[in-house]
Amino acid sequence: MRFIQDAFDKARPLFEKGGKLELLYPLFEAKETFLFVSRERTASGCHVRDSIDSKRYMASVIVALMPCLLFGIYNAGYQYLTGIAPGQPTDIHRCLWEGALRVMPIVICSYAVGGIWELVFSVVRKHEINEGFLVTGLLFPLVLPPTIPLWQVAVGISFGVVIGKEVFGGTGMNIFNPALTARAFLFFAYPAQISGDQVWRVVKDGVDGVSGATPLLVAAAQDGVQVVDRVSGAFGGWSNLFLGLIPGSIGETSTLCCLLGAVYLVATGIGSWRTMLGVLIGAFITCFLLNQACKDNTAINALPFCYHLVSGGFAFGLVFMATDPVSAAQSNTGKWIYGFLIGFLAIVIRTLNPAFPEGMMLAILFMNAFAPLIDYFVISRHMAWRMKRVEA
């Protein structure tokens, strides 16, 4: 690898101050640190440092997302094949191939368009390219339906990166999770494609196609059948919902894959187990109370917690969106409160609000806005305790 390093060393003067390509230094820096851990020596404070950096930190989230992505590709192919002609052979190779044809353009589009914005801002602001984008660029496609038009992907990720992150000053300064901001933008700007009454499984000739309902839509319907029977009947039982071979957004359908991601994030110390557990507890208690209060067991209010867990974007949001280290609460107590309220709000929006079948995205965005307030509350209490100690 010596020759690559030499090539970089040779090109370096071009990009440094006074060089011809000075403006593009962030691009140079990004390329170089992508390939080589920098030689930079510690200058102040600790003489040695932990070998983690923000690249590794963010890359770990991408590793955790891999099961969701791979299964999402498979499932997109599976839904496509069963959608165009029921009874077709659905062996794994065909599903992966057909799925990849639909999913990979979305992922590539998201990375390419978002990457350009990231570069533009780093050049204008003269800061290095932030790795947070690596995560955003993959999270965003995974919360989209596989039939989304690519131009919407491009518009969405542009909104997410620019308005969701860069206007605040880049990764580490943003208030809202950029991927969810992008998703929310598409959700409200182009509701027809992202969540009309049904989720498209196949699109033929641009407009026509086959569609299928998601579990939450089925649960919200009213046909006199018990809600549990209705949902599990439509999707082959709870275990199938858990595995995720159902129509829905690319990466969200499989709770099992989200669980694998969660195990990885918690084991490596990257994701906050406090936030995750907080969401679970909040949702469980809310569901339990709603179930108790609900007399009519055909209504969505009677849907037990275990079905909420496996339907829609609940598990995906819980593991990957709520735990975003930048937009979540940052104190440990705050994480519990933040998580609990996300769980509570997600269930409330799902059940008590007829306008939106899915509540996870809105709940997380809402709590993103409140996270600083939660931290403020926690910190104020701590400061009050310390003041009291001074007087004692």
Partner 1 sequence: MARFTLKQGYDVPIAGDSNPEVVDGALATVASVRPADFIGIKPRLLVRDGDSVLAGTPLFHAKDDESQVFTSPISGTVSEVSGVVRGDRRVLLAVNIESDGKNEAVSFEATSAAAIPGKSSEQLRETLVKSGQLALFRERPFGHVARAKHTPRDIFVSAIASAPLAPDPAVLVEGNEEYFQAGIDACAKLTLGAVHLSVPGTGSVCSAFSGAKNCQIHEFSGPHPAGVVGVQIHHIAPVRSRQDIVWTITVQGLIQLGKLFVLGRVSPEKIVSVAGTSALDRRYFRTINGAPLQNVIRGQVADETIRYISGDVLTGTDIGAEGFVGLYDDMVTLIPESIDSEFVGWMQPGFRKHSMFRTYVSPWLPKQKHRLDTKVWGGHRALFASDAYGKVLPMKMFPLFLVKSCMIQDIDEMVGLGIYEVTEEEMALCEYVCPSKTPVQKIIREGLEFLYAEA
Q: Would you tell me which residues interact with partner 1 (CB under 8 A)? A: 1, 4-5, 29, 33-42, 44-57, 59-60, 128, 130-132, 169-173, 267-270, 272, 325-326, 328, 330-332, 375, 379, 382-383, 386-387, 389-390
The residue among 6 and 296 lying less far from partner 1, judged by its C-beta, is 6
Compute the C-alpha angle 178/99/237, nearest 5°.
Answer: 90
The residue among 150 and 267 lying less far from partner 1, judged by its C-beta, is 267
Token pair of 375, please?
Answer: 């931290």
Give every CB contact of residue 247 below 8 A, 6+ residues apart in sequence: 79, 199, 201, 211, 212, 213, 214, 253
Instruction: Count the alpha carbons within 13 Å of 201 in the hemisphere toward its beta carbon.
Output: 19
- Minimum distance of partner 1 from residue 45's CB (angstroms): 4
The residue among 92 and 383 lying less far from partner 1, judged by its C-beta, is 383
Give the phi and the psi of residue 329 in degrees, each rounded to 5. -65, 150
How much is the CA Rg of the chain, to the nearest whole Å? 23
- Minimum distance of partner 1 from residue 131's CB (angstroms): 8
- Minimum distance of partner 1 from residue 63's CB (angstroms): 8
Q: Match 């999770």 to its residue by tokens.
A: 177
The residue among 96 and 128 lying less far from partner 1, judged by its C-beta, is 128
- Minimum distance of partner 1 from residue 179's CB (angstroms): 15
Q: Match 């018990």 to its residue by tokens.
A: 226
The residue among 5 and 292 lying less far from partner 1, judged by its C-beta, is 5
The residue among 155 and 266 lying less far from partner 1, judged by its C-beta, is 266
Give every CB contact of residue 75 below 8 A, 6+ residues apart in sequence: 95, 99, 244, 245, 246, 250, 253, 254
- Minimum distance of partner 1 from residue 375's CB (angstroms): 8
Q: Look up residue 265 and give its DSSP letter.
A: H
- Minimum distance of partner 1 from residue 167's CB (angstroms): 14
Beta carbons of 211 and 193 less than 8 angstroms apart: no
Give every CB contact of residue 39 below 8 A, 6+ residues apart in sequence: none
The residue among 57 and 366 lying less far from partner 1, judged by its C-beta, is 57
- Minimum distance of partner 1 from residue 24's CB (angstroms): 17
Give the phi and the psi of residue 357 in degrees, each rounded to 5. -70, -35
The residue among 13 and 191 lying less far from partner 1, judged by its C-beta, is 13
- Minimum distance of partner 1 from residue 38's CB (angstroms): 6
The residue among 150 and 263 lying less far from partner 1, judged by its C-beta, is 263
Complete DSSP assignment for 310-321? HSTTHHHIIIII
CA distance readout (Å), 119 to 21, 31, 175: 14, 12, 21
Give the phi and the psi of residue 190 in degrees, each rounded to 5. -130, 65
- Minimum distance of partner 1 from residue 119's CB (angstroms): 16
- Minimum distance of partner 1 from residue 354's CB (angstroms): 36
The residue among 115 and 372 lying less far from partner 1, judged by its C-beta, is 372
Cα first-last separation, the chain:
63
**In terms of Cα–Cα distance, which of 366, 373, 283, 276 is closest to 325?**
276
Give the phi and the psi of residue 130 in degrees, each rounded to 5. -85, 135
